[in-house]
Structure 1
Amino acid sequence: MKNSNTKLILLHPYIQKQGSSNRLWLLSFMSLFTLAFLLTITYTSGLYAYSTKTATPTANVAAASATITATNAPMPTTVINTLLHYASKSNDTFKMSYAEIKPISDVLRKCSSPCNLLVFGLTHETLLWKALNHNGRTVFIDENRYYAAYMEEKHPEIDAYDVQYTTKTREMSELIKVAKEQIRNECRPVQNLLFSECKLGINDLPNHVYEVDWDVILIDGPRGDWPDSPGRISPIFTSGVLARSKKGGSGKTHVFVHDFRRDVERVCGDEFLCRENLVEESETLGHYVLERMEETSFQFCRNNRPVTSSSPAENNSSSASST
Structure 2
Amino acid sequence: MKNNINNTNNNTKLILLHPYIQKQGSSNRLWLLACISLFTVAFLLTLIYTRESTSTHASTTGTSYAAAAATNPPLSKTVIKALVHYASNSNNTDRMSYTDIKQISDVLRQCNSPCNFLVFGLTPETLLWKALNHNGRTVFIDENRYYAAYMEEKFPEIEAYDVQYTTKISELNELLGTVREQVHNECRPVQNLLFSDCKLGLNDLPNQLYELEWDVILVDGPRGYWPEGPGRMAAVFTAGVLARSKKGGNHKTHVFVHDFNREVEKVSSDEFLCKENLVKSKDLLGHFVLGKMDANSVQFCRNHTSSP
> Is TM (by shorter chain) over 0.5?
yes
Q: Where does residue 131 of structure 1 map in the other structure? A: 131
**Separation in 2 of the partners of 1:280 and 1:320?**
18
CA offset at residue 263 of structure 1?
0.3
Residue 182 (structure 2) pairs with residue 171 (structure 1): no
Matches within 5 A, 1:41-190: 71-190=71-190
**What letter matches 2:122 in structure 1?**
L
**Separation in 2 of the partners of 1:283 and 1:99?**
7
**What letter matches 1:75 in structure 2?**
L
**What letter matches 2:284 in structure 1?**
T
Count of residues paired in the alignment: 242
Are 1:122 and 1:140, in contact at CA under 8 Å, matched by a contact in 2? Answer: yes
**What letter matches 2:223 in structure 1?**
R
1:125 and 1:235, CA in 2 relative to 1: closer, same or farther beyond 3 A?
Answer: same
**Separation in 2 of the partners of 1:95 and 1:209?**
27
Matches within 5 A, 1:1-323: 71-248=71-248, 250-304=250-304, 320=306
CA offset at residue 71 of structure 1?
2.7
**Identity, % of aligned pairs?**
70
Residue aligned with 1:176, SS: helix
- Runs of at least 5 residues in structure 1 that lack an aligned partner in the other structure: 1-66, 305-318
Are 1:200 and 1:237, in contact at CA under 8 Å, matched by a contact in 2? Answer: yes
Q: Cα deviation per residue 1:235-271 (whole Å; 9 max; x = unaligned)?
A: 0000000000011255210000000110000000000
1:299 and 1:90, CA in 2 relative to 1: closer, same or farther beyond 3 A?
Answer: same
1:160 and 1:281, CA in 2 relative to 1: closer, same or farther beyond 3 A?
Answer: same
Are 2:100 and 2:283, in contact at CA under 8 Å, matched by a contact in 1? Answer: no
1:70 and 1:276, CA in 2 relative to 1: closer, same or farther beyond 3 A?
Answer: closer
Q: Cα deviation per residue 1:271-313 (whole Å; 9 max; x = unaligned)?
A: 0000000000023100000001011111000113xxxxxxxxx
**What letter matches 1:188 in structure 2?**
R
**Separation in 1 of the partners of 2:295 and 2:214?**
18
Are 1:71 and 1:135, in contact at CA under 8 Å, matched by a contact in 2? Answer: no
Q: TM-score, normalised by structure 2?
A: 0.76
**More deviation in 71-80 or 258-267?**
71-80
**More deviation in 70-79 or 86-95?**
70-79
CA offset at residue 161 of structure 1?
0.2
**Separation in 2 of the partners of 1:303 and 1:86?**
41
**Separation in 2 of the partners of 1:301 and 1:161?**
30
**Separation in 1 of the partners of 2:223 and 2:190?**
27
1:113 and 1:301, CA in 2 relative to 1: closer, same or farther beyond 3 A?
Answer: same
**What letter matches 2:183 in structure 1?**
I
**Separation in 2 of the partners of 1:231 and 1:114?**
31
Which is greater in Rg? Answer: 1
**What letter matches 2:275 in structure 1?**
R
**Separation in 1 of the partners of 2:218 and 2:69?**
28
Q: Where does residue 310 of structure 1 map in the other structure? A: none
Q: Cα deviation per residue 1:43-92 (whole Å; 9 max; x = unaligned)?
A: xxxxxxxxxxxxxxxxxxxxxxxx96773411111110110111011111
Q: TM-score, normalised by structure 1?
A: 0.73
- Runs of at least 5 residues in structure 2 that lack an aligned partner in the other structure: 1-66
Residue aligned with 2:109, SS: helix
**Separation in 2 of the partners of 1:249 and 1:94?**
38
Are 1:223 and 1:229, in contact at CA under 8 Å, matched by a contact in 2? Answer: yes
Are 2:119 and 2:139, in contact at CA under 8 Å, matched by a contact in 1? Answer: yes
Q: Cα deviation per residue 1:204-255 (whole Å; 9 max; x = unaligned)?
A: 0100010001000000000000100000000000000000001125521000
1:85 and 1:174, CA in 2 relative to 1: closer, same or farther beyond 3 A?
Answer: same
**Separation in 1 of the partners of 2:69 and 2:113?**
12
Runs of 4+ in structure 1 over 6 Å off? 67-70
Are 1:179 and 1:187, in contact at CA under 8 Å, matched by a contact in 2? Answer: yes
